[in-house]
Amino acid sequence: MMIKQESIQVPIFDKNASLHLRYIHNPDKQGPIVLCLHGAIENGKIFYTNSNKGFAPYLAAQGYRCFVLDLRGRGESVPAIASGHDYGQTESITEEVPAVLEYITKKFGERPHYWVAHSWGGVILNSVFARYPDEINHVRACAYFGSKRSLHNNHPEKLLKANLMWFWLAHYYVKKHGFLPAKKLRWGADSETIKSHAQSAQWAKISPWVDSDDNFDYGQALCGLSLPPTLHIAGVSDKALAQPIDIEMFMKESGGGVQKLNIYGKRYGHTHNYGHIDMLTHPNALQDQFKDVLNWFQRYNS
């Protein structure tokens, strides 16, 4: 079975910048289209390797056509984040994701049928639903790996990674460098702009889901919406960034519709105690959460 990977640069309003899409598919199959979105201090490589390991190649082997997005300045999007770049998550919601949806629609004649996210990517995608509720009609189902908005847990690891590092130390490094060099700091796989860090830090605290640019109230908008059926995935070893309580609160503020939370670990009959990153990178995930996501998509296949 041949899995093919192609890199596509999607132009955006800024003629000096473009968004990278990794198109992963089996050329012999024309199955449903999937959009995958990474989280903060990450890029799309959380979903794939060049040797066809990971979630996107797994779905491609089942016939799905997967598009993995690198948000602006991350991964292979150009140019990379640097001092002076003034865009943030508002632009991700209102410009970048919509640009990619339009590109896929023009090139393939249909919008993605399934949306997948890791961590903060789920917040971005549900924010897109809030701003552009017509998109709900195009999406059959979603799967979110470790996605939460506000952190409600009080685990000591959360106090270190969120309260100390994200809410305090990060501000020091942002001021020093003009952006957050998270990869250099070994905090994650990619950088964040001043604005994207500030906006995500604001929402990660227990506070209203409101845009700092124009005061758009995402929480209020979602109250009246029924989102696509969404499978939420938690790992028992994810103590800091997406405990079940954090995910459950995200589910409660994400409107109506079918939502299900699965927790993955040995005490639940799985083969590994998954954490925030290896819920997508561990080889055993193919038999555990990847298989469950595939079944979820097949349940909502029309």
**Among 38, 28, 7, 34, residue whose Cα is nearest residue 111:** 34
Q: Identify the band that residue 54 occupies on the pLDDT scale cut at 50, 70 and 90.
A: very high
**Among 229, 262, 26, residue whose Cα is nearest residue 139:** 229
Domain positions in the chain: 4-149+218-299
DSSP state string for 230-292: EEEEEETT--SS--HHHHHHHHHTS-BS-EEEEEESGGGT-SS---TTHHHH-GGGGTTHHHH
Tell the residue number behind the tokens 């919509």, with chain if given. Answer: 98
Q: Which amino acid is at 212?
A: S
C-beta neighbour count of 85 within 10 angstroms: 20
Q: Which two tokens stand for residue 297?
A: 């998509």
**What would the pLDDT profile of 231-274 be if each residue is shown by its tens digit?**
999 999 999 999 999 999 999 999 999 999 999 999 999 999 99
Tell the residue number behind the tokens 């490094």, with chain if given. Answer: 173
DSSP state of 86: -
**What would the pLDDT profile of 6-18 be if each residue is shown by its tens digit?**
999 999 987 789 9
Q: Which two tokens stand for residue 301?
A: 């296949």
- pLDDT number for residue 121: 98
Alpha-carbon distance of 182 to 256, in angstroms, equals 35
Helix (H, G, I), strand (E, B) or coil at 220: helix
Please, are residues 152 and 246 in contact by the beta-carbon 8 Å criterion?
yes
Phi, psi of 39 (to 5 degrees): -105, -165
Helix (H, G, I), strand (E, B) or coil at 109: coil
Q: Which amino acid is at 40?
A: A
Q: Identify the band that residue 209 occupies on the pLDDT scale cut at 50, 70 and 90.
A: very high
pLDDT at 228 over 70: yes
Please, are residues 225 and 253 in contact by the beta-carbon 8 Å criterion?
no
Q: Which amino acid is at 296?
A: W
- pLDDT number for residue 230: 98
Q: Edge-to-edge strand order for the sheet containing 114-118?
A: 4-11, 18-25, 65-70, 33-37, 114-118, 141-145, 230-235, 259-264
> Please, what sign has the CA dihedral across residues 205, 208, 209, 212?
negative
**What would the pLDDT profile of 119-151 be if each residue is shown by its tens digit?**
999 999 999 999 999 999 999 999 999 999 999
Alpha-carbon distance of 85 to 250, in angstroms, equals 29
Considering the chain, what percentage of its residues have pLDDT values greater than 70? 100
- Round the average pLDDT of the chain to a whole number and report it: 96
Please, are residues 125 and 97 in contact by the beta-carbon 8 Å criterion?
yes
Q: What is the mean pLDDT of residues 155-176?
A: 88
**Among 152, 126, 123, 125, residue whose Cα is nearest residue 242:** 152
- pLDDT number for residue 164: 82
Alpha-carbon distance of 21 to 103, in angstroms, equals 10
pLDDT at 1 over 90: no
Q: What is the CATH number of domain 4-149+218-299?
A: 3.40.50.1820
Q: Identify the band that residue 160 occupies on the pLDDT scale cut at 50, 70 and 90.
A: confident
C-beta neighbour count of 176 within 10 angstroms: 11
- pLDDT number for residue 185: 95
Q: Which amino acid is at 74?
A: R
**What would the pLDDT profile of 3-46 be if each residue is shown by its tens digit?**
999 999 999 987 789 999 999 999 999 999 999 999 999 999 99
- pLDDT number for residue 115: 99
